[in-house]
Amino acid sequence: MNTELARHGTTYYFRHRSCELEGRLVSEGMLVIAGSSARKDPRLGAPETIIHRRSRLLSEGAAKVEFDRFVLAHDHVFATPSLAVDLMNGGHVREPLKLWRDAHGGTLQEILGTE
């Protein structure tokens, strides 16, 4: 599969620890689907930029807190798949492109050729 095919409707899933995301590549970056969720609180030692941007998602109504989860209230486009993971997870995740997978187990890293 090439990058162009990856951009036309393939759904990717990110399941790592307490982070459960679903998204699609779009020309602007990674569209993460409403209902995707992660831990409520940022990870210990999370950079201030991540904490601030998560707060902004909440104040803009793009995300909400439900019990112990940080949940996207609406579909949201993040500039990159990695940024989507970092902001939703509340801290950096090592090699996130290896963890985004399609329904057949293919990774974004393989599809985008960034190995």
What's the pLDDT at 61? 97
Backbone angles phi, psi at 104, to 5 degrees: -100, 5
- Locate the domains of the chain by residue range: 3-110
| Per-residue model confidence as pLDDT tens for the chain (115 residues) | 345 545 557 899 999 989 999 999 998 999 999 999 999 999 999 999 999 999 999 999 999 999 999 999 999 999 999 999 999 999 999 999 999 999 999 999 988 876 5
Written as six digits, the tokens of 115 are 């190995």
What global pTM score does this model have?
A: 0.89
- 3-state SS of the chain is CCHHHHCCCCCEEEEECCEEEEEEEECCEEEECCCCEEECCCCCCCCHHHHHHHHHHHHCCCEEEECCEEEECCCEEECCHHHHHHHHHCCCCCCHHHHEECCCCCEHHHHHCCC
What's the pLDDT at 5? 47
First vs last C-alpha separation in the chain:
15
